[in-house]
Amino acid sequence: MTKISITKKIKVVLQKTLVVVLWLIAIIFFILGIFNLVYANKVLPNIYFGSKSLGGLDKEHLGYEIETQIKLLSLEEITISIAEKNISLKPFDIDFTLNKKNFVDEIYRYGKRDNIFETLRDQLQLIAKSQRFPKRSYYNQEKLNQFIENNFSEFQIESQNATFSYQKGKLEKVAEITGRTIDKNLLIEKIEKQLISRKRTPIKIDVQVQEPKVYLDGLIEAEKEVENYISANLEIKSSQENVVIPKEQIFNWLHFYASRTQVINGQGYVLSVGLSTENIISDLTAVAKKINQEPINAKLAISNGKATIFQPAQDGLVLDKEKTTESIVSALSKSSDRKVEMTIRVEKAEIRDDNIDNLGIKELIGTAETSYKNSPNNRVSNLTTGTKYLNGALIKPGESFSTIKALGSISIENGYLPELVIKDNRTIPEIGGGLCQVSTTLFRAVLNAGLPVTERANHSFRVSYYEPPVGLDATIYSPKPDLVFKNDTTSWILIQGSTDPEKKTIKFELFGTKDGRKSQVDGPYVSNYINPPDPINEDDPNLNEGTTKQVEKPHQGASAVAYYKVFNQDGSIRTEQTFKSKYKALPAVYKVGKRPVSTPTQ
């Protein structure tokens, strides 16, 4: 047979095979076409909701059937059988719910997608395997967990080793507890399956026994060791504080655990005893609060152009809890001499008389001054007090300085008095009123020094004390807004603040080391002036009729913008910031008396 005849035969076979395949495909599509015509307005066969077949139902009857099945699923209880005890779960107790409309749409459209290939895939899947709805249960997980907690807590008991207790000076043995547990995840999984099924046979859950590792037999060797630990109190002392640790507290430091040694002629393992360093360190935290002292930096001032100390540094003290714990463990291993010397470290202050020459505080780098003329006495007092708190403050290289933090708690105890502050578009008396002039003056000194400002906010309306210029004020109010700036120089910065009662001025000077930078403020440029609204009259029953009292002055609104640039020594830009300020226009406010005035009788 020639190669040509073989090739022809193969061709004929392939052609016949292709014809058969095409006929099969055509038949399949013909059958599917008839199938889709028959079920055009019906649910496809082999689709179930729970155990109920839905095939052949139209959309209306589908809705009725699903509604019925949902009700049955919601009402039928689930029985859980455990240790000869039956517990019933009502689905609605855990907020079991199914959305009828969602299921009607999903089931009705199953196998009837817009995409022909997806439709074909779904219909072929129905031939191979039934599709069951709902695919998952919908319930309140928290309520199911609570149901399990309420009904199965007796089957979830953690095993406990035999141990000791020490109360009222008496050491006693505590018997072991055999634990019981159930597989909670398996229980939830079975409940979820039954929530979406009508075949609700009792769920069987096994109780697993958890044996302890240490029984009473395992305490015999440990008893003497425990008695040795609590044979006497412990005294820990230092030059600052002496503390007596009673035996009860020492007992609480003990750590009991199962060893690897099995009890001879008994059950379980031997109990081991040790000291919990974590518990000891935790208790030493309370002692440390009495011992520890933060180091206090020396206070500096500029005298004759040089940084000098006007308040010396004070070293700090820190209880070394780890090393003291080591000493305690060593002492408790002995039955006598239960006295421990605390290990206390001395922490040097950062700023001391032996290192002030290394701080780089040698020249003026920025200054600003504002006037507080015509300020009332309380405002002057607050300005003076706030300036004193900032005076002598030191800022290390790379550190940010918070004005609010440096001013301390704004309270009468710290020397602040009640004075007007801006709040809710009004001026009302509060403790510390006027401190915004302290922050405003410092803000301008910072700009003069060429330091970056990270937080700054303008007042809600214009205040005459800070003008001119308009737009270079910095309001503060604990905890926010705040004035925050950063020391981006390589040396420390000293803030020196002062008030001059005769000139009625407040002044801030920043000292450090010049690095050749130059600062420039372009502006502020003021625009969008807005006239105050019409005056507001407020009735006051405490003022006589015919009396009018002005309580708020009118304020003109405006917008201001200032462009702040800092140049390096070579002329390149180091910092570039824009400070925008928007001030509200506020009306004058008058109190109008409404209290009747009695007319004298003739």
Of 111, 22, 19, nearest in space to 30 by CA: 22
- Whole-number pLDDT of residue 45: 86
Query: Quick one: what percent of the chain has pLDDT higher than 70?
Result: 95
Span 165-191, average pLDDT: 93
CB atoms near residue 194 (< 10 Å): 22
Lowest mean pLDDT among 106-110, 484-488, 536-540: 106-110
305-309, 390-394, 425-429, 542-546: range with lowest mean pLDDT: 425-429
Q: How far is CA 307 from CA 107, 297, 360, 368, 494, in A?
A: 85, 14, 9, 20, 9
Is the pLDDT score of 242 beyond 80?
Answer: yes
**pLDDT above 90 for 485:** yes
pLDDT bucket at 31, cuts 50 / 70 / 90: low
Which range, of 168-172, 264-268, 487-491, averages the lowest pLDDT? 264-268
List the chain domain ranges. Answer: 13-139, 299-347, 359-528+561-584
Q: How far is 217 from 161, CA to CA, in rounded Å?
A: 11
As a whole number, mean pLDDT of residues 178-182 equals: 93
Strand residues in 465-588 grouped as ranges (E): 484-486, 493-500, 505-512, 518-530, 536-544, 548-552, 557-567, 573-583
Give the range among 45-54, 163-172, 252-261, 506-515 with minimum mean pLDDT.
Answer: 45-54
What is the model's pLDDT at position 4?
64
Answer with the residue of higher pLDDT: 27 or 172: 172
Residue 431 tokens read as 């403790």
Tell whether the model's pLDDT for residue 321 goes beyond 90.
yes
* pLDDT average, residue stretch 572-584: 96
Provide the pLDDT for residue 29: 64
| Range 417-434 average pLDDT | 80
Q: For residue 490, how many C-alpha atoms fall within 13 Å in the half-sphere facing its CB?
A: 5
The whole-number pLDDT of residue 429 equals 80
pTM of the complete model: 0.60
User: What is the per-residue pLDDT for 430?
Assistant: 83
pLDDT band, very low/low/confident/very high, at 600 (cuts 50, 70, 90):
low
The Cα 40–Cα 111 span in angstroms is 10
State the average pLDDT over residues 134-147: 86
Smallest Cα–Cα separation from 297: which of 399, 383, 438, 443?
399
* pLDDT of 599: 64
**How does pLDDT run across 505-540, given as a tens digit for each residue?**
999 999 999 999 999 999 999 999 999 999 988 888
pLDDT of residue 32 exceeding 70, the answer is: no
pLDDT at 601 > cutoff 60: no
Under 8 Å between Cβ of 476 and 458: no
| Interatomic CA distance for residues 317 and 348, integer angstroms | 9
